[in-house]
């Protein structure tokens, strides 16, 4: 017990091995970048980064299936919830690195590409911290690490005016969002006197009945509004179209998948843990009901519904494909909020499954979008015209990604939606289920708009489209994943269910 390092040496630091790996690799990359010649080819950094991500992924998998471990006074936890999200982040970043390799090499795109790679890793580190922490402070530190890295990454196309503008917009609105979140957190801290989520959960019910209920609601609203920024849900979604359009395409993919998933990690962890103990007597049923399943769920449902409606309808009018994907992402955030709004025991299963399906489809789609945009020198949807004749397999894959995003059967996205939809119906939230279906049908129109261009419109050229190998790998893997999970979702559903038990989020970890 009395090591010369004090209490720090007694923690089981191996739980943080994935984070340490990423941190180490990021540091290594920055050093290599420093020592490399100015003109040297920095693509090697991407491969090193990828190796680091794979190693971290190995550590996460090694950590899965264990009991809850918590270190540093319950500040940092390792549970099924954290592992599930970390795997999603790592998978997403691996794809982003692969599609970056052939995008970043052009000098005109991203000068000083070294920093691009290690900022990506530090953003990843931030996301992983968000998934694992059980403390308002660490959560916020993770959030800011992710956000600050993302702000810079969005602006890495230094000579591109639109990129600069979107980075600026992102910083400003991100700053506002962070301030709003902090403001909300400060109320919670003020009421309970603690920043630890589990301590807060213990103390909050007393405060709720002690006359602080309005303050608690206010804190909830401030936090959810601020966090809506990270997942680009209504009401804080305005930044997404501009930023998605201006950012380098791999970063757009990163924002749409990894950053969004991280937002969900923090939202789920925080709201479920903090508010679960507060119960309220339901006048109609005459029994106690947790307010998170009652009132708060209603507010989350409204946000979800608004995101689905606004995202899907505004996407109809877009001609820029990256903007369109931004609105599509807003809509997807709406779907992803449905499990939280219906709050069943399957919440984590549903969210993680949907995120996997979304990761596959969106990463694949952005990989294709990147190739097409670069080849056609335009981000207009018309750039996809005649793609089928130039690259049949690419367009077939793209078709499946779009089917998956639209939630059409035999794609992973369908089961994702079906799964979510089932719990909404099961809890008799028929209006939410109805909006989900109605907006899905609306989304057919714009997703199939790309399909129309690929198959039904003649393109400017018929020459075959060259696909760089790393991108081809991403497209191939995500395509196989989308289709295989679409036909046989069972193994994935079962894997999630057995390895990431949801109730672990409430269990206190084994301390020393």
Partner 1 sequence: MANYFLTILTFSPLLGVLLLAFVPKNLPGTSKAIGILATLVPLVLALMLYTGFDSTAPGLQLVQQMNWINIPLSNTQSLPIRFEMGVDGLSMPLVLLTAIISTMAAVVGLTIDKRWKTFYVLFLIVEMGMLGVFTAANLFQLFIFFEFTIIPMFFMLGIWGYVDREKAAFKFLLYNGVGSAIMLIVFVILFVLTGTLNIAKIAELFTSPMSPFNVPDVPGYIPNSVRLGLFLALLLAFAIKIPIVPFHTWMLKTYQEGHPAVIMISSGVLIKIGGYALIRLNAGFFPQWMNELATLIAVLGVINILYGAVLALVQNELKQMLAYSSVSHMGVVLLGIAAVNAQGLQGAIFQMISHGLIAALMFYLVSLVHERAGTSDIRKLGGLAKSMPIISGIFLTAMMASAGLPGMSGFISEFLAFVGLFGSKPAIAAVGAIGIILTAVYLLRATLATTFGPTHAEHESLADAQAIEVVPMVVLLSLIILIGVYPAVLSEPLQATLQTIASGIGGFSR
Question: Which residues within the stretch 455-484 sit at the binding site for partner 1 (CB under 8 A)?
Answer: 455-456
Among 138, 277, 440, 504, contact with partner 1 (rule: CB under 8 A): 440
Closer CB to partner 1, residue 76 or residue 419? 419
Distance in Å, CB of 286 to partner 1, minimum: 17
Quickly list H helices, 231-320: 239-246, 249-254, 260-275, 295-315
Give the binding-site size for partner 1 (rule: CB under 8 A): 33
For the bound state, the minimum distance from the C-beta of residue 395 to partner 1, rounded and expressed in Å, comes to: 11
Binding segment (CB under 8 A) for partner 1, from list 74-82, 210-218, 258-266, 418-426: 418-426
Cβ of residue 316: shortest distance to partner 1, in angstroms? 11
| Token representation of residue 103 | 């995008």
Largest CA distance in the chain: 75
Nearer to partner 1, 190 or 434 (CB): 434
Give the chain's radius of gyration (CA, Å): 22
Q: Of 243-251, 252-260, 265-273, 420-428, which part binds partner 1 (CB under 8 A)?
A: 420-428
3-state class of 78 per DSSP?
strand
Can you give the length of the chain in residues? Answer: 512
403 part of the interface to partner 1, by CB under 8 A: yes
245 touches 322 (CB < 8 A): yes
Nearest C-alpha neighbor of 391 from the set 457, 456, 464? 464
Q: Mark the segment that binds partner 1 (CB under 8 A) among 221-229, 318-326, 335-343, 413-421.
A: 413-421
Neighbouring CB atoms inside 10 A of 374's CB total 17
Q: Cβ of 345: how many Cβ atoms within 10 Å?
A: 9
Least distance from partner 1 to the Cβ atom of residue 208, Å: 28
Cα distance between the two ends of the chain: 10
CB atoms within 10 A of CB 80: 25
Phi and psi, residue 76, nearest 5°: -130, 125
494 binds partner 1 (CB under 8 A): yes
Residues 339-358 that bind partner 1 (CB under 8 A): 345-346, 349
| Rounded distance between C-alpha atoms, residue 163 and residue 169, angstroms | 10
Q: Taking CB under 8 A as the rule, does residue 382 contact partner 1?
A: no
* Choice between 201 and 451, CB closer to partner 1: 451
Select from 409, 460, 469, 511 the one that contacts partner 1 (CB under 8 A): 409
- Identify the three-state secondary structure at position 288: strand
Asked if residue 227 binds partner 1 (CB under 8 A), the reply is: no
Smallest gap from residue 393 Cβ to partner 1 (A): 12
Rounded CA gap, 284 and 49, in Å?
Answer: 56
Site for partner 1 (CB under 8 A): which residue of 28, 448, 465, 499?
448
The pair phi, psi for residue 284, each rounded to 5°, is -70, -50
359: nearest Cα among 260, 265, 237: 260
Site mask, partner 1, residues 162-201, x = CB under 8 A? ----------------------------------------
Stretch that binds partner 1, among 36-44, 292-300, 439-447, 476-484 (CB under 8 A): 439-447
Which of 83, 27, 88 is CA-nearest to residue 59? 83
For the CB of residue 438, give the shortest distance to partner 1 in the complex, in Å.
Answer: 7
Instruction: State yes or no: residue 286 binds partner 1 (CB under 8 A).
Output: no
130 binds partner 1 per the rule CB under 8 A: no
Least distance between partner 1 and beta carbon 360 (Å): 18
Asked if the peptide bond before residue 235 counts as cis, ω within 30 degrees of 0, the response is yes
**Closest approach of Cβ 376 to partner 1, in Å?**
20
- SS3 annotation, 324-340: HHHHHHHHHHHHHHHHH
User: What does the binding site for partner 1 look like in residue numbers (CB under 8 A)?
Assistant: 345-346, 349, 403, 408-410, 415, 418-419, 421-422, 425-426, 433-434, 437-438, 440-441, 444-445, 448, 451-452, 455-456, 489-490, 493-494, 497, 501
């Amino acid at each position: 017990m009395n090591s010369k390092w004090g209490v720090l040496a007694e923690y089981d630091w191996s739980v943080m091995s994935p984070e340490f790996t990423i941190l180490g690799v990021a540091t290594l990359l920055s050093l290599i970048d420093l020592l490399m010649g100015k003109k040297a080819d920095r693509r090697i950094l991407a491969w090193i980064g990828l190796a680091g991500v794979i190693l971290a992924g190995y550590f996460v998998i090694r950590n899965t299936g264990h009991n809850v471990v918590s270190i540093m006074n319950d500040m940092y936890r390792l549970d099924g919830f954290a592992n599930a999200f970390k795997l999603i982040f790592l998978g997403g970043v691996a794809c982003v690195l692969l599609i970056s390799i052939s995008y970043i090499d052009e000098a005109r795109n991203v000068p000083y590409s070294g920093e691009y790679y290690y900022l990506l890793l530090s953003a990843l580190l931030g996301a992983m911290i968000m998934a694992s922490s059980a403390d308002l402070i660490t959560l916020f530190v993770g959030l800011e690490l992710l956000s600050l890295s993302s702000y810079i990454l969005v602006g890495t196309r230094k000579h591109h005016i639109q990129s600069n503008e979107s980075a600026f917009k992102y910083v400003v609105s991100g700053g506002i969002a962070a301030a709003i979140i902090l403001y909300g957190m400060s109320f919670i801290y003020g009421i309970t006197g603690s920043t630890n989520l589990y301590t807060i959960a213990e103390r909050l019910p007393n405060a709720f009945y002690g006359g602080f209920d309005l303050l608690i609601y206010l804190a909830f609203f401030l936090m959810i509004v601020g966090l809506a920024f990270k997942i680009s849900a209504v009401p804080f979604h305005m930044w997404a179209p501009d930023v998605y359009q201006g950012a380098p395409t791999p970063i757009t993919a990163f924002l749409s998948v990894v950053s969004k998933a991280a937002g969900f990690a923090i939202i789920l962890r925080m709201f479920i843990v903090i508010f679960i103990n507060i119960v309220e007597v339901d006048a109609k049923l005459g029994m106690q009901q947790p307010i998170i399943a009652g009132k708060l769920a209603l507010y989350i449902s409204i946000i979800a519904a608004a995101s689905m409606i606004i995202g899907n309808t505004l996407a109809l009018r877009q001609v820029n494909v990256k903007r369109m994907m931004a609105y599509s992402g807003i809509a997807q955030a709406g779907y992803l909020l449905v499990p939280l709004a219906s709050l069943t025991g399957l919440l984590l299963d549903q969210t993680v499954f949907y995120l996997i399906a979304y990761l596959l489809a969106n990463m694949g789609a952005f990989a294709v979008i990147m190739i097409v945009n670069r080849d056609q020198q335009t981000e207009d949807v018309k750039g996809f015209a005649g793609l089928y004749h130039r690259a049949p397999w690419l367009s077939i894959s793209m078709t499946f990604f779009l089917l998956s995003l639209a939630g059409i059967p035999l794609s992973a996205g369908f089961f994702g939606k079906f799964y979510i939809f089932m719990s909404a119906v099961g809890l008799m939230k028929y209006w939410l289920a109805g909006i989900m279906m109605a907006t899905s049908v609306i989304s057919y129109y714009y997703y199939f708009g790309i399909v129309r261009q690929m198959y039904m419109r003649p393109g400017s050229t018929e020459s075959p489209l060259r696909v760089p190998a790393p991108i081809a790998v991403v497209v191939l893997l995500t395509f196989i994943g989308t289709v295989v999970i679409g036909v046989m979702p069972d193994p994935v559903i079962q894997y999630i269910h057995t390895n990431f038990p949801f109730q672990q989020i409430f269990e206190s970890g084994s301390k020393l």
